[in-house]
């Protein structure tokens, strides 16, 4: 995952100390298919994720990250879940913890493509043919399956990037 400029600036001041960040996950559907990316940082398949920039609405983060990481235009349909991850320690020693906002999203347009920086692959999958994923991502997908209804709160404290 590319480190946002504001996080780089904060890290210059606080070093590796724990940093509380907001994240957004876009679970993107096109009829009975789901769009997934392969993350460059760890090779794992997941929905689109990203760190919320200062002053940015989390739903806008989902839209921005979907274009940046997968080349697609989406529409956010609803907040599916919100939860806090366990602290994550990155290989460089940085420690972060995230409040994740997972959104159910609808594909609008664009030819899915990976960006070569944050993503190394992208593809549409039938729900019963998804690649193996970390439980934190399958939990977010499960929460986003419902087309309507209240958001889930406090879902899992699994480690995750924004």
Instruction: Using the predicted structure, report yes or no on whether residue 155 has a pLDDT greater than 60.
Output: no
Give me the mean pLDDT over the 30-39 stretch: 97
Where are any strands of DSSP class E within 85-155?
A: 88-89, 95-109, 119-126, 152-153
Q: Give domain status of residue 106, yes or no.
A: yes
Give me the mean pLDDT over the 33-45 stretch: 95
Q: Give domain status of residue 69, yes or no.
A: yes
Give how many domains the chain has, as a whole number. 1
Q: Give domain status of residue 1, yes or no.
A: no
| CA dist 156 → 15, 87, 107, 129 (Å) | 28, 13, 26, 23
| CATH code, 93 | 3.90.79.10
For residue 159, what pLDDT is reported?
44
Q: Give domain status of residue 4, yes or no.
A: no
| 84-119 pLDDT, tens digit each | 999 999 889 999 999 999 999 999 999 999 999 999
Q: Give domain status of residue 153, yes or no.
A: no
Structure-block tokens of residue 77: 């349909």
Scanning the chain, the segments in alpha helix (DSSP H) are 5-14, 58-70, 135-144
- C-beta of residue 51 within 8 angstroms of C-beta of residue 23: yes
pLDDT band per the 50, 70, 90 thresholds, residue 38:
very high
> pTM of whole model > 0.85?
yes
Q: Give domain status of residue 90, yes or no.
A: yes
Q: Within its chain, how far is the Cα of 160 from the centroid?
A: 9
Give me the mean pLDDT over the 144-150 stretch: 89
Q: Give domain status of residue 94, yes or no.
A: yes
Range of the domain at 62: 21-146
Q: Give domain status of residue 44, yes or no.
A: yes
């Amino acid at each position: 995952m590319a480190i946002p400029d504001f996080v780089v600036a904060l890290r210059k001041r606080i070093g590796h100390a724990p940093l509380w960040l907001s994240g957004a996950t876009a679970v993107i559907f096109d009829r009975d298919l789901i769009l997934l990316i392969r993350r460059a940082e760890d090779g794992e398949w997941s929905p689109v994720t990203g760190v919320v920039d200062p002053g940015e609405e989390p739903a806008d983060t989902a839209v921005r990250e979907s274009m940046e990481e997968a080349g697609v235009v989406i529409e956010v349909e609803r907040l599916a879940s919100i939860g806090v991850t366990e602290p994550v320690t990155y290989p460089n020693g940085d420690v972060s913890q995230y409040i994740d906002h997972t959104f159910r999203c609808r594909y609008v347009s664009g030819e899915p493509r990976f960006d070569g920086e944050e993503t190394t692959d992208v593809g549409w999958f039938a729900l019963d043919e998804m690649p193996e994923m970390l439980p934190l991502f399958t939990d977010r997908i499960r929460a986003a399956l419902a087309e309507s209804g209240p958001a889930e709160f406090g879902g899992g404290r699994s480690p995750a990037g924004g």
